[in-house]
Structure 1
């Protein structure tokens, strides 16, 4: 995935200004910056959730700006995964059903989807929670479930918006370790938005955003 000259405005206010970024298979890229700097806006532009006002986002040879709503929805459903700050689990569904949701939305049969969900939950140490509801698990467990849901369909790219921002330091470290380990084992690329330099330090590449302007950070020793 790559973006060139990406721009986004909220009314007359620029949120993303002429941003260039590239992401390769298996790579983890972190975007840091203060609240309101535009990093989440950039993330959702890259995911095709927010339409860019200028520039281009390319994924697997396709320009996201040339896709219609149905094609974009299919792309997000089948090739992208998402992890949000507060998990965003559906309270009416069990842990297992929440995890299987991307597969069910892609048309996979329920039994097969639940089997796949159980496997990824097991890899995250959550097998015993399969039949619980989101209200019956802790914050750290909830975020692990969100990670499982993002990875269950083996997406090419995972978009993570402050995935550990709602957790205490011990849970944040554990969840991040499990998330990145599983994503890398699947060969998924990860775009990680965070305000935490410790989280960003786990990435292969880092960018910083300020007032909508994106700049690459040099890695130490390079």
Structure 2
């Protein structure tokens, strides 16, 4: 039986930048294997909320829980370990390290977690193969296309089989054809692993692929409900 239990939640979360409220009373519940999309205009607070959920930004009030444990109870070292070992991240421009090969970039989360190089590279090769990138493993980021770079970023976010992936405009720098292909591969692989995904996007077509949708406006998150299958 597939585990669909709650993995991440936010309850009454506020985020302040000085005296400005970036996030106000946010409520969200994310289950294993679920993809949740947050849409909104630039400056609406959606990326700020994403980084609160990932434990990167400290909240002013409210609580974020991961697997039943409050992120507020963790110290900096514990939060760093959580982000390194249980979370994955995909950014708009991939953020690959130019000095590393495709397979080394993909294997990076495993290496940071202490896995042997040979084992980490083998796991990276498996994920790259599933994303159609096996023949690029020795190339460096400067030697591959934008769409390929974003696929590598997706592989890197999933190689350590995280519980949650946080994706901040993961297709924003791609044309529509590449965006569709990358998103399809990303969501298929994430769901097959039981990984939950929080996806921030401006693109309503990207958001339409999610299981659950939210909109954000002036720091206020509104649930739009579960997408009909």
Report what 1:96 is aligned to.
Answer: 103
Once the two structures are superposed, residues 106-164 of structure 1 have per-residue CA deviations (whole angstroms, 9 ceiling, x without a partner) of 00000000000000000001011101000000000000000000000000000000000
Q: TM-score, normalised by structure 2?
A: 0.95
What is aligned with 2:199? 192
Q: Runs (4+) of structure 1 moved beyond 6 Å? A: none
Partner of 1:106: 113
| CA–CA distance in structure 1, aligned partners of residues 74 and 140 of structure 2 | 36
Residues 26-175 of structure 1 aligned to structure 2 (within 5 Å): 26-175=33-182
Kindly provide the CA deviation profile for residues 1-57 of structure 1, in whole angstroms up to 9, marking residues without a partner as x.
Answer: 110000101111110001000000000000000000000000000000001111000
> d(CA) in 1 for partners of 2:227 and 2:42?
25
**2:28 partner SS:** strand
Q: Report whether the alignment pairs 1:177 with 2:152.
A: no
Partners of 1:163 and 1:220 in 2: CA distance: 20
Q: Specify every segment of 5 or more residues in structure 1 that has no aligned partner in the other structure, as ranges.
A: none
Q: Following TM superposition, by how much is the alpha carbon of 1:218 offset from its aligned partner in structure 2, in angstroms?
A: 3.3
C-alpha separation in 1, matches of 2:210 and 2:19: 33
CA distance in 2 between partners of 1:59 and 1:198 (Å): 29
Q: What secondary structure is seen at the aligned counterpart in 2 of 1:170?
A: helix
1:55 & 1:221 partners in 2: Cα distance? 30
Q: Match of 1:208? A: 215
Using the TM superposition, give the Cα deviation of residue 221 of structure 1 relative to its aligned residue in structure 2, in angstroms: 6.3
Unaligned runs of 5+ in 2: 1-7
- Distance in 1, matches of 2:227 and 2:106, equals 37
Separation (CA, whole Å) in 2 of partners of 1:100 and 1:219: 34
Offset of 1:66 from its aligned partner?
A: 1.0
Shift of 1:220: 6.3
Are the counterparts in 1 of residues 167 and 200 from structure 2 also a CA contact under 8 Å?
A: yes
